[in-house]
Structure 1
Amino acid sequence: MTAVSSPVSEAFRPAIHYACKNTWLNDPNGLIFHDGTYHLYYQNNPFGNIWGNMSWGHATSTDLLNWIEQPVAIACDESEDIFSGSIVWDQYNTSGFGGQHTAPLVAIYTSLFKKDSPHYGRQAQSLAWSTDGGYSWTKYHENPVLDRKSANFRDPKVFRYSGPRGSYWVMVAVEAHDHTVVLYRSDDLKTWEYLSSFGPANATGGVWECPDLFPLPLDGNEDNIKWVLTVNLHPGGPNGGSAGQYFVGHFDGVTFTAASTVTDGLQDPARMDEYLWLDWGRDYYAAVSFNNVPDGRRLMIGWMNNWQYGNEIPTSPWRSPMSLVREVSLVSSNGQPRLSQRPVWEDPGSDTGTVSYTGLDVDGFHPVEGGAAVQLIEATFVPGSAEEFGLVIRGNGAEGTKIGIRPADGRLAVDRTMSGNTDFHETFPSIDSAPLQAPGGTYDLRIFVDHCSVEIFAQNGQVTMTELIFPDPESISVSVYASEGTATVSSLKLTTLP
């Protein structure tokens, strides 16, 4: 049964992020652009607002900002739950699922087989197809198409590879408990041949899930293509619980080789800052990219929650939002390739006001005008003598979320211990941090604030932190501060969003 909403919990419903109307969601699945529409499928419990009855929910958008919830796309049944996966446009009907003039969409998903199935206890890969643009789906009668007789083989991301070895489908999946990414190839999406494996490497403090593999030009140079392998894990994140990491290297159509790894095998807690994290916050997980995006753009979205407390966040009847969609690129940083992430965002043209400041010298705690429950904050700080400086958002004097920079430590920190409702789970009130440097001498932050979240993009998106917060609806003040010294806010712009 779906939970009954209350005025307080419904007040947390996001304004600029996607959430279901009255059910649970988690990992994004089947992300694809097709016939002018972006399709977001996701793990969904159609019958309640906690995890269970895994099916594929569905939402659509033409601009990646405004989403329309659609009926459940692929439903669980008595023999299987529908776990994570991906969708491809089978342009040349290699699968044979299309008609004479119709190229099908094909979903490749993990079947979690139940007691009523002869495959009970296994996770294996299955197919479904659509010939109406992704709104109705038919399961393949010979599922599963790839079975390793494993209880933890899941989360296939499939894409079309074309290179010196030919053109074929590639599947990237995981053996979750082995901390291993496994790669397969196919000509028809039905018959799969093993290619290679990658891992364990770097962060292995929890199961590996939801991998992705894609090419990106380094610094925009199409003659210098690198491949990025992402893999999510829980627990084992840099600030506790769920997180995603990535590797940069080479893929030759058979094997992914990382340019370098920090550790092989066991995770080293002393070297967490050396691992490459998709996001340093507590609430960005299972991030994967869209297939078939025009102009070769690489767009990603993640689940904005954490398995430590995901079922218990204080919202109803819905539970769990998605992050903003991010465009990722590969840039050189200190001579090494690193991801840069920018939110896909266009000024909606109907904001209710912008307040700007320049040249604010800060010593202590100073409220500013322009605070709102939903807003974009753009700030540039110049360090002075202060040990820490930054912003307090969604405040009211008694509560607030502190976003601080500690230049001597080279850290960005988010303190949500006084952010509002924090007592629903013992691990939620936290002070989370990420390494942050300012080679040019200034710190640039772009912060998206919503009713229950804050997404921070620092230094042109080379460091990101995503955190859920649950403040009082009336807590909308913004303040700047500097502790144990002074700092300068060279520019500050606060834009209220509808």
Structure 2
Amino acid sequence: MKKRCLLTLMIVLLTCMAFAQVKPIVLGDRHAMLKLTQDSRYLLLPVQETEDIASIAVLDNYNNMVQRINVKLSIDRVDYYVPFEIRGTALLDIEWQGDRRQKGAVGDFVCWKDMKYSNEFDTTNREKFRPAYHHTPLYGWMNDPNGMFYKDGVWHLYFQYNPYGSQWENMTWGHSTSKDLVHWEAQPAAIEMDWLGSIFSGSCVTNGNDVVAFYTSAGHHQTQSMAVSKDGGRTFEKYSGNPILTTSDIPDFRDPKAFWNEDAKVWNLILAAGQEMRIYSSKDLKEWTYESSFGKEYGNHSGVWECPDLFPLTQTTKQPNNQTTKKWVLLCNINPGGPFGGSATQYFIGQFDGKKFTCESMPKVTKWLDYGKDHYATVSFYNAPENRRVVLAWMSNWQYANQVPTKQYRSANSIPRDLGIFQYGEETYVSVVPSKEMLAVRGQKVKKPTETCEIVVDVKNQTEIILSNTKGEEVVMRYDTTKQTFKMDRTKSGDVSFSEAFPCETKAPTYGQIKQLRIFVDRCSIEAFDADGKMAMTNLVFPSEPYNTIKVNGGKATIYQIEN
């Protein structure tokens, strides 16, 4: 009996510790401090997304500031919680931005009542729109894919990550790994903010047993930094000589993409600088020499150029004698300026000699990698097997990414895609097909669409495909062989109320005839591909219930369940 009573008392005490109300030290109408008094792993911070940012200085036992984070602490309601890992923290010095007088006294804010000490943080999914076979963060905000590489049978995906809220802030490199490009395992954050700034986008290369990361340090100015991993990309040590690249002539100077150039026998690096790309070379990955710039008057310049990539692709022509031609592709993500507003990925094709990229098209020619609304920050994996060029994109759009109807997390990546090149008329284009790993998860045939399926449509000259549900919500796709166009209309797809920019119809050129479409549906997204790779279109959707009916006019559909 005594043991049972003692056990009951311990449970009660632990419960009280976990949910004891914290007591702030209020110092003004915008300022408070919080002493951390319990020996727990986390302090669970309540977030209210419509509120102003609270800037939190994290102090250790000696009053040294070891970190600064920005969190939208709850004022009068709680949208969700995010974990702050205490790790020896003694004091949080909290200052709110904006005028607090309209919000009541700081000491009465809901956040103090609802903050909790805990040794665990529940990441169990609470979102009906979370994709089943697309990569998402367990919680928090995600945007650009970063530093992707393949090594020892494992695909590594880093990404722009906010661990302290599901909107953009506190940029850190999150990290996930996969053995099949479909099923992803969350890893601890790989590279965290420091006094040079937030950790913006970048890349990784493998150099012997080391993994070397290049990223933008986004402080008062944007500079480029380096970090090295000795354990296969799990943890990184920042280079003592950072920053390794700086500039004084432009504020937007970011997103370094490094790679080994086998032809020139040098390391190359390309990064975005305003509305151009700058190319560098190096023998040791530490000292970089500026070689050239590309972009003036070429392609679309309606927004800032970001997240470049530069790589070779080969094309084999049947005549004469299966001749192989190698061309270089420069990916250039732009925001705004996409074909249907907001962010998108354009590209250029030409030649690169290790110093200068020469585009083969006329300057005003603009080519888009994907003609949907939700395909951005596309970059490729370094060292992919079989000489494949595998890419992932951020599946959202800066016009509404912070407002999409999820809270536990925001944003997913596209399915993996393999790139090639093809000729149409006088121009060369990049082909885009779902990676072969997507065939491995194709399950049994089903009669009706499900929330996670692949729909293969054999099309005729004029084909209309309507996905719908019992709520009257629908997505309409139309292929017109005469006009050589493919369209997708999501104006009645479900919840479109969170942004005026969301309801739309997108249209893509098909560069010839389409014989078969592959359409991937996954809870909040539809990705449509010409099976031969000449067209890709990615759009988000938020139906109140899954689309469970399909109507095809001018074609035949086969539906496969996706096994996840």
TM-score by length of 2: 0.75
Give the equivalent residue in structure 1 for 2:360: 259
| C-alpha distance in structure 2 between counterparts of 1:452 and 1:210, whole Å | 25
Listed as ranges, the matches of 1:193-208 within 5 Å are 193-200=289-296, 201-208=298-305
In the alignment, is the contact (CA less than 8 A) between 1:13 and 1:451 conserved in 2? yes
| Aligned AA (1:446) | R
**In the TM superposition, what is the alpha-carbon distance from 1:431 to its structure 2 partner?**
1.0
Give the equivalent residue in structure 2 for 1:107: 213
| C-alpha distance in structure 2 between counterparts of 1:7 and 1:72, whole Å | 18
**RMSD over equivalenced CA pairs, Å:** 2.1
Unpaired runs of 5+ in structure 1?
A: 92-102, 114-120, 264-273, 356-368, 482-487
**In the TM superposition, what is the alpha-carbon distance from 1:240 to its structure 2 partner?**
1.1
Give the equivalent residue in structure 2 for 1:125: 224
Alignment pair present for 1:15 and 2:132: yes
- 1:284 aligned residue (359, 375, 379): 375
In the alignment, is the contact (CA less than 8 A) between 2:471 and 2:545 conserved in 1? no
**In the TM superposition, what is the alpha-carbon distance from 1:438 to its structure 2 partner?**
4.0
Distance 1:258 1:438, change over 3 A: closer
| C-alpha distance in structure 2 between counterparts of 1:349 and 1:33, whole Å | 20
Listed as ranges, the matches of 1:5-44 within 5 Å are 10-44=127-161
Give the equivalent residue in structure 1 for 2:490: 416
Alignment pair present for 1:340 and 2:460: no
In the alignment, is the contact (CA less than 8 A) between 1:39 and 1:61 conserved in 2? yes
| C-alpha distance in structure 2 between counterparts of 1:347 and 1:457, whole Å | 14
Give the equivalent residue in structure 2 for 1:447: 519
**In the TM superposition, what is the alpha-carbon distance from 1:332 to its structure 2 partner?**
2.0
| Aligned AA (2:413) | M
Distance 1:468 1:349, change over 3 A: closer
**In the TM superposition, what is the alpha-carbon distance from 1:40 to its structure 2 partner?**
0.2
| Aligned AA (1:159) | F
SS in 2 for 1:219: strand
SS in 1 for 2:410: coil
In the alignment, is the contact (CA less than 8 A) between 2:140 and 2:161 conserved in 1? yes
Give the equivalent residue in structure 2 for 1:62: 179
Distance 1:162 1:278, change over 3 A: same
Listed as ranges, the matches of 1:362-373 within 5 Å are 369-373=447-451
Higher RCO structure, 1 or 2 (CA under 8 Å, sep 6+): 1
| Aligned AA (2:388) | R
Distance 1:349 1:401, change over 3 A: closer
In the alignment, is the contact (CA less than 8 A) between 1:9 and 1:315 conserved in 2? no
Deviations 1:161-186 (A, max 9, x none): 122xx42110000112xx11100011
**In the TM superposition, what is the alpha-carbon distance from 1:88 to its structure 2 partner?**
0.6
Alignment pair present for 1:433 and 2:550: no
- 2:243 aligned residue (144, 147, 152): 144
Give the equivalent residue in structure 2 for 1:366: none
Give the equivalent residue in structure 2 for 1:271: none
Deviations 1:281-332 (A, max 9, x none): 0000000001011221111000000000010000120100000111111122
Alignment pair present for 1:4 and 2:80: yes
| Aligned AA (1:395) | N
Alignment pair present for 1:181 and 2:277: yes
In the alignment, is the contact (CA less than 8 A) between 2:222 and 2:253 conserved in 1? yes
In the alignment, is the contact (CA less than 8 A) between 1:400 and 1:418 conserved in 2? yes
In the alignment, is the contact (CA less than 8 A) between 2:223 and 2:247 conserved in 1? yes
| Aligned AA (1:196) | S
Distance 1:104 1:65, change over 3 A: same
**In the TM superposition, what is the alpha-carbon distance from 1:333 to its structure 2 partner?**
2.3
**In the TM superposition, what is the alpha-carbon distance from 1:261 to its structure 2 partner?**
2.7
Listed as ranges, the matches of 1:212-223 within 5 Å are 212-219=309-316, 223=324
| C-alpha distance in structure 1 between counterparts of 2:492 and 2:369, whole Å | 26
For these two proteins, the number of residue pairs brought into alignment is 439
Q: Which has the larger radius of gyration?
A: 2
Alignment pair present for 1:160 and 2:225: no
Distance 1:337 1:306, change over 3 A: same
